[in-house]
Structure 1
């Protein structure tokens, strides 16, 4: 797998999954060696599980970034009905993206060519590069394509500045977060050529305001990024803007064709197939599960099943970003027993929210139990545990689980 990958960020919700995947296919057909971050709150794991190997075959990665929790509410007003609240998610790029530079792309666009020159653009001391809005007849820059100086955003805590400005101004601006971004960066961004954000979706507005010059700009060859902004979307049953057929071409393109396109050029990477070797389970009615993030990341070949009889908190729901986790909120007792029966080990690592019924299932199906010194259940004999690890030494539990896994194989 390539070491130096180019970071690309999409953001959206499950209701926009078709558009996200269409944009992603167009990007991957023309570009390899990518690290694609999908900022979301509700896209199921199965979607990532299916697509991740496709990207790996062309030397790219797919990262599930779950923006779940009170810090990601984004309950700000937006006066444009066709704009989803997840557009504000780009504020949090410094929290998730590790690379110094990141290309943010809206999901209502199509990539038609190689983006290497765009990624190599020198941002200098600018916070970002962006194209003028609506070919210069709009206000400021269009935020659908942003080459972001992520290193500068991190060092100057830009995320917090954007949040504070949005809290203050969101009810007063006309174009949601695009207006906020323009307010903060109006004099410190680099102009981007329209080739990298050709706002074809402005056709309707251009016709309405007699901007005929826009229709005289050559579309041969196609611009490298076509942006279908406005409500006149090509996936609507009817639309009047140009190049609707380009969006549908990539929408209907099979992923096998994307992979084939690169394999014919001699590019083919090994897929890291996920085959869990061991299954652990925990039943909790508490959000506080000791060291669960650490265990999940240290044991990529172990699948963690976390169940609750209630709704789950954001802390637990955010764990769905990991490929080796399955969550079961609002589960029923009989189904818990079935999971325990099929598991290899019970992890009694939740604080509070202990339930006698799960210990009965563990005993009935003769499953070993591990716990931490601050999470064990005093309601059962201590000898029922095969190990009690100190909570400050989670590596001890990692090693115990590995030993169980090796003993099984």
Structure 2
């Protein structure tokens, strides 16, 4: 192991009463920084709304917390009779690992999750914070791993898998490449196979990491090759709100979400908690869940970075909000010049 999770976790804060084990209980973990808190808490709310008969323990691994968040997390746990635990992480030990503007150090918190819970529980569901639930998760409570390390869901299609196989120099990936935003982990097998050590070793190898455009996701696909079981796409239906820009009207709009979809994964730089995304049908699942949470009065987030301003401008122009679109574009140009 490159790290001891018990040393990296500086503090635990428990909201609500701890739930007892039963057949319909599911432990769900998130790894986030401060920018994804609104997404994470809305994700939790959506799960509770759509699964009232199930029992959950939610585990949030983060490097940030404040008094307002603690107050609202307490309220969320009380309102829905659930358990939410904050694990305040010292991420200095991970600072040598590669990051990008879209992939922060928090992407590696999933390794802390797997390390921490080994020996405590049998399995845990890791979810990205930009996932919203609209269906039952009951099936996940009783799935048999059949000696596999994890249940996963494929990303995109065979064309993408082939590209990943070429880029990562692993031809077997042409049979399937998964999205790491959904990982139902067999903790015993994960530990036995030394997944954390192997992953962190690859990520620390500058000769190998240059090929990793998706960082830990690429690495996990390499390490877990032929050691995962695939679930239906309904458990990780990827939605890019920026794809809305390809359609001229709401009549022929972007609609990958079906009645069968259980988990919606908002991929890409535009998230449903951004103000410029709120008018789209695909964002409504997030808006509805947020409205049922202690964050219902919290404003959606405005564009601040140059990248966000660029997308905000594109979406405002697409929505025929021309003045606001041109203003955002001007701000984007100014920010780019300053950089």
Which of residues 273, 282, 285 in structure 2 aligns to 1:243?
282
> Are 2:241 and 1:180 equivalent residues in the alignment?
no
What are the equivalent positions in structure 2 for 1:191-206 lying under 5 Å apart?
Answer: 191-201=230-240, 204=243
Residue 122 (str. 1) matches residue 144 (str. 2)? yes
Q: Which has the higher helix share?
A: 2
Q: TM-score, normalised by structure 1?
A: 0.55
Q: State the partner residue of 1:153.
A: 190
TM-score (norm 2): 0.65
Structure 2 partner of 1:65: 87
Q: Secondary structure at the match of 1:142?
A: strand
Counterpart-to-counterpart distance in 2, 1:9 and 1:48? 17
Structure 1 distance, partners of 2:71, 2:273, is 25
Choose which of 243, 257, 262 in structure 2 pairs with 1:224: 262
Determine the C-alpha separation between the residues in 1 that align with 2:288 and 2:79. Answer: 22
Which residue, out of 110, 113, 116, partners 1:90?
Answer: 110
The secondary structure found in structure 2 opposite 1:16 is helix
Secondary structure at the counterpart of residue 78 of structure 1: coil
Shift of 1:40: 0.7
RMSD of aligned Cα (Å): 3.0
Residues 194-218 of structure 1: per-residue CA shift (max 9 Å, x gap): 100000127729969xxxxx9686x
User: How far 1:61 moved relative to its partner?
Assistant: 1.6
2:30 aligned residue (10, 15, 26): 10
Relative to structure 1, the CA distance from residue 6 to residue 59 in structure 2 (aligned partners, 3 Å threshold; closer, same or farther) is farther
Max Rg structure: 1
Secondary structure of 1:54's counterpart equals helix
SS at match of 1:144: strand
Tell me by how many angstroms 1:69 deviates.
5.6
Q: Partner residue of 1:30? A: 50
- Counterpart Cα distance in 2 of 1:189 and 1:44: 38
For 1:64 and 1:187, the matched residues in 2 are separated by: 33
Deviation of residue 47 (structure 1)? 2.4
Structure 1 pair 36/173, CA: closer, same or farther in 2 (3 Å)?
same
Deviations 1:59-99 (A, max 9, x none): 5321111221643x2442234x3333201110122332232
- SS of 2:136 mapped into structure 1: coil
| Counterpart-to-counterpart distance in 1, 2:210 and 2:281 | 33
Number of residue pairs matched? 249
Offset, 1:153: 1.6
Give CA deviations for 1:243-281 in whole Å, capped at 9, x if unaligned.
Answer: 012222222323499xxxxxxxxxxxxxxxxxxxxxxxx
Equivalent of 2:271 in 233, 243, 246 = 233
Gaps of 5+ in 1: 209-213, 258-409
Unmatched 5+ stretches in structure 2? 1-17, 162-176, 248-252, 297-339
Secondary structure of 2:184's partner? strand
SS at match of 1:146: strand
Q: 1:51 aligns with which of 73, 89, 98?
A: 73
**What are the Cα deviations for residues 214-251 of structure 1, in whole angstroms up to 9, with x where unaligned?**
9686x441511000001232233334975012222222
Q: Which has the higher contact order (CA 8 A, sep 6+)?
A: 2
Q: Structure 1 residues 60 and 132 mapped into 2: Cα distance closer, same or farther (>3 Å)?
A: same
Query: Contact conserved, 1:101 with 1:150, CA < 8 A, in 2?
Result: yes
Alpha-carbon shift at residue 190 of structure 1 (Å):
0.8
Alignment of 1:310-325 (within 5 A): none
